Structure 1
């Protein structure tokens, strides 16, 4: 069967367009890591922090109107009534959700991976805090020997020789210095991403 030159060119264009659309769709699944977007609305810009707390080290800044990619959200100290913090998908840190307008859906809670949580036991009495630094407000205390469920961890202020802080399933933070990991798979202990 003979196909005209025009028909062959049209079929080639249709196939090429289909491949291009398919590769774009495959490259950007809805809300994969970095799939969430936001826009900075703070009048004087927004400070990027090393952990989800206004007491954590400043690692950079953003200007009003900047568009940003977000991985996930975690509880932290409230900023003007909003206690959520967003992790930037470029790995540069965290920003308060108070001064970010979501473009589309808001990020999911960290960790975004479908995982079982870590389980630990307090080695001593420990304060639960609103964020991952000792300057963040105390939300309550756990006595020695309390079993805790850990959603994920971040690096933040050092306590003793430990720089990790655990986000508990109740939304509070505790230093890893005060928690002994129990025998669960290492894969259950994940970064807040």
Structure 2
């Protein structure tokens, strides 16, 4: 949605063209919005394949909503399972991991599943591999609570420092 808004294309998410708009202008905007969404989906090829046959932005958007935003029990359970089994593998980028974690939280919120702040903290910290054990222990030692935003911030700072240290180590060789 943000990409469509940025391109001033979100107005084509309606089923029929506005009365005061020229058909050729409507078709141009619709094709532009449709291709914008398709380009955003190229990273998730399996999703793109499910919606590639849609011919209008409206039908594509509705199809994506049925895939991602249905509030069925099955969808909620699948998303919860993805969140509770989500793990950072050694060597993967922490920044990407946090971004994917936040996406899972947003997907759950879209299907009306609320994960409170303390549980978000616990799930994020538990998703980290064994190499983060001392960091995790240092972070929680002597605290009664931590906010998700605080933990995310500490992890991003650690990631930045680790990357700088790694870069400096390579240049010293």
Category of TM-score, reference length = shorter chain: under 0.3
Please report the TM-score for the alignment, with normalisation by the length of structure 2.
Answer: 0.28
**TM-score normalised over the length of structure 1:** 0.26
- The structure in which a higher percent of residues are helix is 2
Higher-strand-fraction structure: 1
Larger radius of gyration: 1
